[in-house]
Chains A and B, each alone.
Chain A
């Protein structure tokens, strides 16, 4: 069964008929395209807003995958460069073509480039209450409907994940910030744990993230 890319006129919850059986979906989720090679899934109600034209504030000294933030509704919202986190130390499109991309500025360029398609503002519960984060997007988010047989264990992200990850530490990093894998277009895509991703606990796992 393929995932249903939602028609906005179709209300949730609903049932679909497959081979004579009525099947209820588990829920709906958003596919976020963070780079040409990286898609992730978040829950439907975790995506709150799409922002565009927002100025980024650089925070030197912050982890290089999250060293920009926006001042949004009197809150400081961290902007997560997930491609940078997973492909670091020097993620950028030049890197994909095998060219030298050893200058960290290239990676900052990735965020600026992605900003052209806007920022996905996401919300999650943290220890301090409701918190916000943001992802730069290269495409508009897609709303999908998830059925039970699309949900896979995290371990599925290891093989044929379609994330373009080549080394184990990066896969471990992806697993660390995921709560499951969702099969989308025949590829397992990470269902993110936003609370884990935007917490400081990532810093406490240098063996996974610090060496990728």
Chain B
């Protein structure tokens, strides 16, 4: 029964009022979005542990507010927005408490942080990680998720003009950060 449930249209609506089936169907659809949500959070936060934590938060938020999702086709956009908001919450929290993965401290030869390793290998991504979180979110959604600025605005709940200005500012900042390197290494 659960396997027959699809995200679109009447099939989804058909299970919305069916108690546990609604939960199962929603859980199934959430699972399909997990990798994307985790990668989105990882690219914004640059840390796998925090990304996992944030996506966990986002799942809980999504679960608590699932009745607000009237159009199942918009699940991805809806979840994107929740994930980005959760990332912003996490960044705020960072200002107060620095999270330290104690297990990693105790065992430095353990699994490396996949996002951290990626950012340490790639100078450009590292610069992206240094941007303010809102600019980072715009860059990731526009260039990684390949969303139009209008779609980015829809996900973030901003006006398109706001997205444009933040993207412009992000690119300016990236250019400024890259400038010394450019001078040292002429093309």
A and B co-occur in one complex: no
